[in-house]
Amino acid sequence: MTKRYANALCILLPAACLSTQALANQPQPWSAGFNADISVLAGYTQSTSPFNTDGSSTISDFGKADSESNFLVAPLGTISYTTQDLNNQIYFGTSRSDLAFGRFHLELGYKRKLEDNSTLVFSYVPGLISSETWQDPYLRDQPRAKTDSKIKGLRFQYNQILGSNFSLELSGGNQDIDDEKSGQSYNSETQKLLNRQSDIYFAELTHFQPLSRTQFLRTALNYTRNNADGDAMASDGYGAEIGIVQAINKASFALTFSYSYVDFDEQNPIFTRTQQDDRWGVFLASQYNEPMGWENWNLVSLIGYNQSNSNITFYDEESLLFTVGMNYRF
In three-state secondary structure terms, 320 is strand
Report the domain count for the chain.
1
DSSP state, residue 103: -
pLDDT surpassing 90 at residue 24: no
Residue that wins the pLDDT comparison between 139 and 106: 139
pLDDT value for 163? 94
Domain limits for position 274 = 3-329
Closest CA to 51 of 324, 318, 298: 318
Q: How confident is the model at residue 265 (pLDDT cuts 50, 70, 90)?
A: very high
Residue-wise pLDDT for 190-234, tens only, equals 999 999 999 999 999 999 999 998 899 999 999 999 999 999 999
Q: How confident is the model at residue 72 (pLDDT cuts 50, 70, 90)?
A: confident
Strand extents, DSSP E, the chain: 33-48, 67-82, 88-94, 107-113, 119-125, 131-134, 146-159, 166-177, 198-210, 215-228, 235-248, 251-268, 273-289, 297-310, 317-329
CA separation, residue 292 to residues 37, 38, 40 (Å): 19, 19, 18
Separation of alpha carbons 310 and 263, rounded Å: 10
pLDDT value at residue 14:
42
DSSP-based three-state secondary structure for 109: strand
CATH number of the domain residue 291 falls in = 2.40.160
Residues 5, 74 contacting (CB under 8 angstroms): yes
Mean model confidence pLDDT for the chain: 87
Residue 28 is predicted with a pLDDT of 63
Determine whether 27 is exposed, middle or buried from the number of CB atoms within 10 Å of its CB (0-12, 13-18, 19+): exposed
- What percent of the chain shows pLDDT beyond 90? 60
Task: Indicate if the alpha-carbon torsion angle 44, 1, 147, 13 is positive or negative.
Answer: positive
Count CB neighbours of 250 within 10 A.
12
147: Cβ contacts below 8 Å, ≥ 6 apart: 132, 133, 134, 135, 177, 178, 179, 180
pTM of the model: 0.88
The greatest distance separating any two alpha carbons of the chain, rounded to the nearest whole angstrom, comes to 65
